[in-house]
């Protein structure tokens, strides 16, 4: 229980740290996940208590519902095609500003929002900071192209596994109506090169390697370390 409380405290601390980056009048991209939930809660508090005036674009149904509950005004990228800042979590992140995202199957919208923002910030706890990326790379795949994508991933040196639902029969379906493949490439020594290869694969809507990162906030037991590109 103590370990879980410490883990949650780290997430809360880094959520508060990232909240300080959000200023009055901003259009803010809000990511998805348990760490981002603390950011959403704090932004809602500032709107209520400090009259913070912002508008947010969310990356999933989950973060949209959290934002509505927190009282955060919402918009979309048609209304705000250029965001001041986007803040999101990560499955893994390196000190040289590469990350893997998509554990929540929302990485396509997350990448779109990240690239729509003038500044993209990753928030995480220190368990996600690694020297070399080595977790699976989530791939959002058009169902019609599943077998084709599997062949291309294998040719690129990966081992693709279709992500299955935990409380439903069949595969996980993204908010966009697509399948999620988790591709294991082992140690990813050259994430930029792998990113290019996956981007060229026919049938992959988007992959989970992120490289356009401006700032990383990492929560340890006693402090939040801020890395700037």
Cα–Cα dist 180/206, whole Å? 10
181's tokens: 């493949």
CB 112 within 8 A of CB 102: no
**Beta-bridge partners for 183:** 137, 160
- Choose the catalytic residue: 110, 140, 150, 215: 110
Is 110 known to be catalytic? yes
Contact assessment for residue 30 and residue 56, using Cβ atoms and an 8 Å cutoff: yes
DSSP state of 227: E
Tokens of 100: 């893997």
Which candidate, 4, 173, 204, places its Cα nearest to that of 104? Answer: 173
Question: Would you say the C-alpha torsion 129, 28, 101, 194 has a positive or negative sign?
Answer: negative
Residue 220: Cβ within 10 Å count: 14
Active site residues: 110
């Amino acid at each position: 229980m103590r370990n879980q409380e410490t883990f949650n405290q780290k997430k809360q601390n880094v959520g508060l740290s990232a909240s300080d980056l959000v200023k009055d009048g901003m259009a803010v991209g809000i990511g998805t996940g348990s760490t981002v939930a603390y950011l959403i809660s704090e932004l809602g508090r500032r709107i209520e208590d400090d009259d913070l005036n912002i508008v947010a674009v969310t990356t999933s149904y989950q973060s949209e519902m959290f934002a509505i509950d927190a009282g955060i005004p919402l918009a979309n990228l048609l209304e705000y095609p250029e965001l001041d800042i986007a803040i999101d979590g990560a499955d893994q992140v390196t000190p040289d500003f590469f990350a893997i995202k998509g554990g929540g199957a929302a990485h396509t919208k997350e990448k779109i929002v990240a690239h729509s923002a003038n500044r993209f910030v990753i928030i995480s706890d220190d368990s996600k900071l690694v020297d070399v990326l080595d977790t699976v790379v989530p791939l959002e795949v058009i169902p019609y192209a599943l077998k084709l994508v599997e062949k291309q991933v294998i040719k690129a040196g990966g081992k693709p596994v279709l992500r299955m639902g935990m409380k439903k029969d069949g595969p996980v379906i993204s908010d966009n109506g697509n399948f999620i493949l988790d591709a294991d490439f082992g140690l990813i020594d050259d994430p930029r090169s792998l990113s290019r290869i996956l981007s060229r694969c026919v049938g992959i809507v988007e992959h989970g390697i992120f490289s356009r990162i401006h700032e990383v906030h990492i929560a340890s037991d006693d402090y939040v370390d801020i890395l700037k590109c």
